[in-house]
Amino acid sequence: MAHLTGFLLFLTSLSWFALSLLPSEVSPDFVRKGSQTCKIPTPKGGKRYDCYDRKCWCTKTRANCSDNKGSLLFVPRLPRGIQFLDLSYDNLSTIPQDFFANVTNLTSVSLSNNFIASIAEGAFEALKRLEVVFLDNNFHLTGEVLKPVFESKTLKCVDLRYGKLKTLPKNAYESPNLEEFYFHDEKVTVLNFSGFESVTKLRLLDWSGNYVKQIVPGLMRKLEILDLSNNPLSSFPDTCNAKAASFFPRLTLLNLKNNQIHSVPSQLCLPRLQHLDLSGNLLQYMSPNTFHLALFPQLNKLYLEAMDIHIKNIDAFAFNNTHLKSISLMYDNLKFSDEESIAKDSFAGCLNLKGLQLSSNVFSGVSDERFLGLFGNLTRLDTIYMGKTSLERISVRTFAKFPRLKSLFLYLNKITVIPDGAFAGNPLLEELNLNDNHVTTVTRTTFTDANRHSLKQLDLSGNPFSCDCDLRWFSDWLRSNKTLFKHSRSSYNCSNLHQEVASFTMPDQACLLSRDTSEFIVVSVSLLLMAMTLVSAVFRYRWHIRLLLYEVFRGRDDVRRRRLEEGNFDYDVFVSYASEDLPWVYATVMPELEHRLGLRLCVHERDFIPGKNIVDNIADCVESSKKILVVFSNHFLHSQWCQFELAYCLRHVMDYDDALIVVCLGDVASRDLTSSMMAVMKTTTYIQWVDDDDAIASFWGRLQMALQEVVPNRT
């Protein structure tokens, strides 16, 4: 009973709750192939010594005569206290009748990994206390050869794994004390439970890895553990007889992993079933109450991992069972954002659920509202696995509904930030795994005082930490709490430096300013520089901008014409020029415009009133003139009075919706132009003076056209 109980406890804890200790995300089998077999009832204690010609090594109760590769084909005389004999890997092919004559006190014997093809009748009669026999990995055994083994009526456990047996001897079904039978990876196609009805003490039957397509029902009164994994079963085994009584009244664990089962029947008789593994089957639809209390009154662990055909639909109340303690949906590629495929109330009714394994599914695009809608009612959860689910973010709300949470696994996701107080609602949290995400920093406020006090195991390794002032606290914490981080799967490295986080330090002086303050200063200075640059550019190109805006918003000619018609003018044209250009104005401009065209020009030297302020003279003469003519030259651009005059004239033409008439005298280098002159040159068509007959004729023609509004009509 002790080894049977140990096996049951192993199966209970073996699955995904131990996943955090694995180096990769390979889920352990529900029953590990090759790792579980009969337990040797004899203790190991005692000093090891050579008890036969360096071919056998003994302790107080055990003899190891294995791995002799054919050099020991009999059982030598051994101490009387030997209860377990290991003869594996000895190349044995025959077991004669007197084979065990020298070790009659054996309670267990291993004949594993030999080539046994013959066992004499009565070969096991001398072993009156024999309880356990290991015959696994003998490929020449047949049902007929095995008859002498089952003649022993004291047998409690037989291991026949990994052979090529197609049948069992008839007396195998007549073993009155047999409690455990390991028969996986054989060649049997039919499992006849009715044949085992006489094996009244059978508690564990491992029939996995066979070719079973048909099951003949029969009453298994004391069977507690049944492993039918890795068979081609197409339907759930019959569990009810014609009177709706159970064929398996004491069954607590049923492993149907990796079969071809399509559905769970609507009638089951499994009154004590606690563990059910349907992983790797063909279930596509989970309808309401698929695992209801009425079908599974004691079910507390359910495994639906790695379905061969992905689960297409999970209806509301699919897992409706208040006895359920843990559910595993690992490797099912379920898209939890799809509200049509996975109902919001899928897990409704699982009020006592404590463990939830959701790793290797898809949680990208799942909002807090959706997440809490699915799982928020599972307030008794203490373990959640969500590794490798493409989870992108968590908030302070995500896990707040789980106050009893002790273990949380979020490894291999895409989380970039752990918000301050993200686990404030989980004061009992002991184990947190966030390795291999995209987290760059952890600060003192990331975890609450309660979290830091309760945490016993924390893994944040494999994240791209940015080693700066904000990470100093975490670096100190990492160095001073090695026990807390000792189970980390990978290393803690700085993504911006070639060093480990634990060795990263930064002086206090470099971190006097907080990150927020530093960012504020950087942003403020940047904005100030941008503003200064903008102001400088606006000032430099102010006339460009003003003239462009003037051209864009310029009104119609009506305003200008009305001014010309209603105004009282002393001059037709105000001429702005440098004093050095006066000879050209007197000799060229005035004769043409005044004498030939009959215009009245305002010229500084002639028309400014003596004794009057120059600024007032300029202002009055501009206001008293219909048009403004500006003579640009190298002398003009170097004269401050000319620049003032130009600025005043520009404001005047803008105020009255007019335009400057610009004459360019000589070659004026653009690099030397003032901003106002450059603006005028780029926005106004100017008239170039060239000392050439054809060019001169063109010059006067263009100038007359520009002045046509003020040239008097001559009839």
pLDDT at 567: 73
What's the CA dihedral at 685, 691, 692, 696 to 10 degrees? 50
Q: Is the pTM of this model over 0.75?
A: no
Instruction: With residue 126 as reference, give the H or E element that holds it.
Output: none
pLDDT at 13: 40
Alpha helices in 376-514, H assignment, sequence order:
449-454, 472-480, 482-485
Instruction: Give the tens place of pLDDT for each residue, 118-131.
Output: 999 999 999 999 99
Q: Which residue, among 656, 657, 667, 664, has the nearest Cα to 681 in the 3D structure?
A: 664
% the chain with pLDDT above 70: 90
Contact between residue 92 and residue 111 where contact means Cβ atoms under 8 Å apart: yes
Q: Is the pLDDT of residue 698 over 50?
A: yes
- Please give the Cα distance from 408 to 383 (Å, whole number): 6
Q: For residue 435, what pLDDT band results from cuts at 50, 70 and 90? A: very high
Instruction: Give the tens place of pLDDT for each residue, 80-94.
Output: 999 999 999 999 999
Instruction: Give the tens place of pLDDT for each residue, 643-666.
Output: 898 888 888 888 887 888 999 988
Mean pLDDT for the stretch of residues 93-122: 97
Mean pLDDT for the stretch of residues 3-31: 40
Contact between residue 637 and residue 672 where contact means Cβ atoms under 8 Å apart: yes
Contact between residue 120 and residue 144 where contact means Cβ atoms under 8 Å apart: no
Q: Is the pLDDT of residue 9 over 60?
A: no
If one compares 577 and 706, the residue with the highest pLDDT of the two is 577
Q: Is the pLDDT of residue 519 over 60?
A: yes
Q: How far is CA 309 from CA 284, 501, 521, in A?
A: 7, 44, 57
pLDDT at 16: 38
**Choice among 32-46, 420-434, 489-503, 581-595 with the minimum mean pLDDT:** 32-46
* DSSP β-bridge partners for residue 625: 571
pLDDT at 32: 33
Instruction: Give the tens place of pLDDT for each residue, 255-299.
Output: 999 999 999 999 999 999 999 999 999 999 999 999 999 999 999
Contact between residue 7 and residue 38 where contact means Cβ atoms under 8 Å apart: no
User: Which 8-state DSSP code applies to residue 183?
Assistant: -
% the chain with pLDDT above 90: 68
If one compares 166 and 324, the residue with the highest pLDDT of the two is 324
pLDDT at 651: 87
Q: Is the pLDDT of residue 712 over 90?
A: no
Contacts of 35 (CB under 8 A, 6+ apart): none
pLDDT at 652: 87
Instruction: Give the tens place of pLDDT for each residue, 605-626.
Output: 999 888 888 888 889 998 998 8
Mean pLDDT for the stretch of residues 328-348: 97
* DSSP β-bridge partners for residue 181: 158, 205
Q: Is the pLDDT of residue 35 over 50?
A: no
Mean pLDDT of the chain: 89
Instruction: Give the tens place of pLDDT for each residue, 391-430.
Output: 999 999 999 999 999 999 999 999 999 999 999 999 999 9
Specify the residue for token string 């090594």.
57
Q: For residue 61, what pLDDT band results from cuts at 50, 70 and 90? A: very high
Instruction: Give the tens place of pLDDT for each residue, 481-513.
Output: 999 999 999 999 999 999 999 999 888 777 876
Mean pLDDT for the stretch of residues 331-336: 96
pLDDT at 678: 83
